[in-house]
Chain A
Amino acid sequence: MSQVIVSGIITGSLYALAALGLVLIFKTSDVVNFAQGEMAMFCTFIAYTFMTFIGLPYYIAFPLTIVCAGILGVIVYRLIIKPLSKTNVLSIMIATLGLIMILNGLAGNIFGFETKSFPKLINAKNINIFGVSLEPNSILIVLITLAIMLSLFFYFKTMEGIAIRAVAQDVDAAKLMGISVKRVTVTTWIISSMLAATAGMLIAPTKFLDINMMSEVHLKSFCAAVLGGFNTFIGPAVGGVLIGILENLVGKYISLAWKTVFAFVLIVVMLVVRPNGLCGKSYRKKV
């Protein structure tokens, strides 16, 4: 039992990692970026290209990819978000749906359709704690997820973070306060793209690298964010880990064939009871 719970935590932290970028964009602009997963996949392919075709070592390819991800964030902002910024939120969300197809098609044609293996952050022997077998790499992923979550949490307490939140609440008022709305929005897209790249590179060793590597993770990351609360940074982590554990427990003790269905039904029930998610605050607009 402990093995499946621990595995659930690790898988769950992958969901959480993928969800953090989603939450960031949502919190700052009320937009759900459906293409977050595909951005992660695309960046992971960039990292793979750095390592195999240029032959860079992992520790150089990783930060380089993060830089590229930042550039991708700017491109997405300039080409899609900015031209649509005068329209409503829904149009932007639909545009991100289109971005899924663009990135997926591009990745397939540039990098190929074969499944590739992607190196782990650290390659060490499995360790055994109380009969639970653990990969050191997985522990590191959990730690990184926690670290990113906490730094985002504290970032939003700084002046810069408060500016971002101000823009989210009222663009015009924020402008009047002397906040550069354009700069703030582009910053969030850069950060969330970097988060996507990090998530992609950490997920790829488990899920293997191909153009669909994020499809399932992305969907579950949505659920993690919804379950935990879409407007918090702690929420996705809690939601992700819960989904991971729940799926495994249902699989082990009830039915493997129905485990995903079961987990999702529970989420629906949860949402009826607590629409803002487990950790979410109910959102009240001050008049």
Chain B
Amino acid sequence: MKKILSILLTLILSISLLSGCGKQTKTTLAQGVEEKTIKVGTIGPTSGPIAIVGVPMLHGMQAYFNMVNDEGGINGRKIELIAKDDQFKPDLALQKAEELVEKDKVFAIVGQLGTPGCLGTLDYLKEKGIPAVYQGTGVSAFAKAKGNYFPVQPNYIFEGGLLVKYAIDNLKANSIAIIYGNDDAGKEELEGVKAQLKKMGKEDVLKAEVPFNTQDLDFSAHVQKAAEVKPDVTIVVGYQKAVPGILLEAKKQGFKTQFMTSYINADLTMLTLAKDAADGVIVTAWVPDITDPNNQAAKKFIETYKKYFPNETPNAFAAAGWVAAEVFVEGLKRAGNDLSWEGYIKAMETFNDWNDGIAKGITYTKDRRNGVEKMYFMKAVWDEKLPRFEKISDFVGLE
């Protein structure tokens, strides 16, 4: 029995090897592209703790693809999205990536979510050369990976630099404290802040570096440490639930400073959780305000999202999923019928300050893969009836 099984396995393996050879010599169409469909894969946490982000993001993508499909698809091909749940675990993410690439034979990985998962699959996807559009993380590794990687979200190093530049140039800060999450994202943010300060020759402006752990519940010691140096500006960077907690603690302790935070928090969630404690907090943003009635692209997003997911409120995560789908589809349109991986990558590299979607100013070349390179600043306004963000600057970059 064992023998037969092993012979069978060898047979299957050798056949699949042969079929693999066949694929490479075949012409233009890559795997996952059929006459009427294109299979696309995504990986992200849709169960477990980070499902809070994963589910709306997946639905954002799905809403966009549904819309495209209802309009007839791209060049007559409908997009079929295969979603895999990695529960925010890198080992599972890798397993799911292998499934998507080898079993489901998808054409591309779009809108993969989560720093651990994206980093966990980086080597594998790079080796395969499958187009990977939009990583739901701000770590800089994907901008550095180049090749088949097309990040969209601005990375944390860039953002940290931009935050501190704005604090010094526009807010005239003479002393700055940073309270950061003690993880990859927070550390990169700190790295960006320090690099920018060095560039500006103002390293002495940074007076306090206060780390917090993602499982922290009580922020009294953190806030006290930052308050001791009496900073003009305090940059708080971390996951969604920590920042409101810190703001509330600061209000309780009567710590007066100008708070700034990352685009991760540029969402009404921060205001509804921290209420008046979040009033006046300055945030960065790279997706133009989706609640702005003049923003046509955003209006379309909200309408479409509500059409396909009537019981959910379209939030920033859903918008992120939408952007991922939008950028991917734009690449498809540009590639036309040259749907090999190389053809698609070449088409993506024609993005030059692309502004048609919700995200603005995307440029890709062979060695430029930062995604969005311009952000703007908003101020949180607490108003019982209408909590909102008000735009206080134009799109700015580091140059």
A residues lining the B interface (CB < 8 Å): 3-4, 7-8, 10-11, 14, 104-105, 108, 112-117, 126, 133, 135, 206-208, 210-212, 215-217, 219-220, 244, 247-249, 251-252, 256-257, 259-260
Contact = CB atoms under 8 A, between A and B. Distances in A.
Contact of A8 (B47, B53, B218, B269): B218
Contacts of A210: 52, 241
Contact-residue bracket for chain B: 35 or more
A249 B221 CA distance: 8
Contacts of B312: 112
B313 to A, nearest CB: 8
Nearest to A260: B213
A252 B221 CA distance: 5
A115 B240 contact: yes
A207 B217 contact: yes
Nearest to B274: A117
Given A115-B273, A211-B52, A256 B211 contact: yes
A161 to B, nearest CB: 32
Interface in B118-176: none
Interface of B: 47-49, 51-56, 182, 210-213, 215-218, 220-222, 224-225, 240-241, 244-245, 249, 252-254, 269, 272-273, 275, 312-313, 315
B186 to A, nearest CB: 10
A257 B275 CA distance: 27
A219 B49 CA distance: 15
19 contacts: A8-B218, A11-B217, A113-B53, A113-B56, A114-B52, A114-B269, A115-B269, A115-B273, A116-B272, A133-B252, A206-B245, A215-B49, A220-B217, A244-B218, A248-B220, A256-B221, A257-B182, A259-B221, A260-B213
Contacts of B272: 116-117
Contacts of B315: 114
B51 A216 contact: no
Contact of A115 (B52, B54, B225, B313): B52
A256 B210 contact: yes
A101 to B, nearest CB: 9
Contacts of B241: 115, 207-208, 210
Given A115-B269, A133-B253, A259-B213, A7 B218 contact: yes
A209 to B, nearest CB: 9
Contacts of A133: 252-254
Given A113-B55, A113-B56, A260 B216 contact: yes
A219 to B, nearest CB: 8
Contact of A216 (B53, B215, B221, B313): B215
A135 B251 CA distance: 11
A210 B272 CA distance: 13
A3 B253 CA distance: 8
A217 B182 contact: no
A230 B70 CA distance: 59
Nearest to B52: A113
A251 B269 contact: no
Given A115-B240, A115-B269, A206-B217, A211 B224 contact: no
Given A3-B224, A248-B221, A211 B49 contact: yes
Nearest to B215: A216
A117 B273 contact: yes
A4 B224 contact: yes
B52 A7 contact: no
Contacts of A257: 182, 211, 213
Given A113-B51, A114-B52, A259-B216, 9 more contacts: A11-B217, A11-B218, A113-B55, A113-B56, A207-B217, A210-B52, A247-B218, A248-B218, A252-B221
A252 B216 CA distance: 14
Contacts of A207: 217, 241
B346 to A, nearest CB: 38
Contacts of B216: 259-260
A211 B51 contact: yes
A8 B47 CA distance: 32
A108 B55 CA distance: 10
B273 A208 contact: yes
Given A133-B252, A211-B49, A257-B182, A4 B269 contact: no
Contacts of A116: 272
A241 to B, nearest CB: 12
Nearest to B216: A260
A207 to B, nearest CB: 6
Contact of B220 (A3, A113, A126, A208): A3
A136 to B, nearest CB: 12
Nearest to B45: A113
Given A215-B49, A257-B211, A135 B252 contact: yes
